[in-house]
Amino acid sequence: MYEKFWGQFLAEQTEADPTFQFEPDGATTPDVSQRDRRGLTGFRAFLKDRGLQYDKYLGGGADGRVYRVFDGETGRAMAVKFINTQRTSLETARREVRNYSFVKENRDSFEEYAKYLPVVYKTEMAGVPTEGQTMDGTLIVNGVIYMEELELLPSEVARSLFAAGSPSDKSKAARVKRDRRLLKNPAMVSSLLNIAWSHLFDPSYFSFEAQVAAENKILERFFRGDFEEPSWQLIPWVKKNLSKQAIELLALFINVSYEKMLENPEDANGDYAVKMYEEAIKSDLMKSFIKAYKKPLVTGAVGRELRQGSALKGFDTYFAREKDVEEEFPEIVGVRTAMKKFAGRDFKPFDVHSDNVMMRPGTNDIVIVDLGRFNL
């Protein structure tokens, strides 16, 4: 049943744009004979020295850059990641090499969960020529990872599972699809409300009685379709980035929360303070709701404590809602289970997000491609 659901879910994403931002290489590749006469430089010289032929730049992040190459003997395509110690640090490069080496040596021992890890062919710390230098020139130490070539996971799938906050049309499209399932479930709406209240800058003016009363009324009105038009600042931003359902819930969240604060003050003078700071309180409510709404479905770390406001902390780890989230989004079950298995082997996932998950060609396998920040 899961495979059927996941296949159907992916099929809906056929028009999605790539998750990674591909960048042009900036210059056409010269004729091989011309390159041989003048000599290759930079990382291209390094690749040639390893018997590899550069094809194109695939993408990169804070810690490294990834290129598509061909093996000169077999013609096999692969991805090569360079972690330049001058751009990051020697410690970062060594950590990446260590983590990918661990996967190379232990991947098969993860059995059915190995599919969530890339196939690693080789890792090394090596001297790579700086731009304009040959292999006989100035070399900079790099961590170098050689691994299988993977396909982009459809953008809306990746963004639905691992990230919901970036301000773009692609992210909003993902949120709209996510919210159709997330916001039809009373348990999940309750969780969203409570996450939002937990993010209030100053919760002292919001008594426990006010929160209980507000939650009951918001749920009742939201699922009855009893909405009201919001009328606060930042609405243009909200309309651009939140789904229609989320905007309706946001309006109820602010208005009802404020109403119940007045009815259930924290102390005898509490209603005066609530009235005095109405604009600031409503602004705080809006910001706290947006923080909660941006949470991914899948927490991007396992095996280590995350601070309450961490962007990696997802709906699945708040208020014991794991079962609710997995029932509503069965496509997350496999990757969440795999991440727990990795953590059980002291290979603790960290910083898993939409830009570092891909898909194995010819399959529906989600593959976590950036292992550099895993804790081993």
Q: Does residue 95 share a domain with residue 74?
A: yes
Judge whether 117 lies within some domain: yes
Judge whether 370 lies within some domain: yes
Residue 20 has pLDDT above 60, yes or no: no
- pLDDT tens, residue by residue, 43-52: 999 999 999 9
DSSP structure string for 260-294: HHHHS-SSTTHHHHHHHTHHHHHHHHHHHHHHHHT
Judge whether 360 lies within some domain: yes
pLDDT of residue 123: 97
Last residue of a domain, one of 236, 266, 295: 295
Last residue of a domain, one of 237, 270, 295: 295
Q: Does residue 125 share a domain with residue 26?
A: yes
The CA–CA distances, whole Å, from 54 to 68, 78, 79 equal 7, 10, 10
Cα separation, 204 vs 333, whole angstroms: 37
Q: Does residue 278 share a domain with residue 205?
A: yes
What domain count does the chain have?
A: 2
Q: Does residue 273 share a domain with residue 241?
A: yes
Last residue of a domain, one of 295, 321, 348: 295
Q: Quick one: average pLDDT of 207-225? A: 95
Residue 87: domain span: 20-153+333-376
DSSP category for residue 220? H
- CATH code: domain of residue 56: 1.10.510.10
Cα separation, 290 vs 295, whole angstroms: 9
pLDDT of residue 231: 62
Judge whether 1 lies within some domain: no
Q: Does residue 208 share a domain with residue 277?
A: yes
What dihedral angle (degrees, nearest 10) is formed by the CA atoms of 10, 14, 17, 21? 60
Which residue in 82, 88, 84 sits closest to 69, CA to CA? 82
- pLDDT tens, residue by residue, 128-153: 999 999 999 999 999 999 999 999 88
- The side-by-side arrangement of strands in the sheet containing 120-129 is 52-60, 65-71, 77-84, 139-147, 120-129
Which residue in 287, 230, 290 sits closest to 256, CA to CA? 230
Q: Does residue 208 share a domain with residue 108?
A: no
Q: Does residue 277 share a domain with residue 353?
A: no
Q: Is 206 strand, coil or helix? A: coil
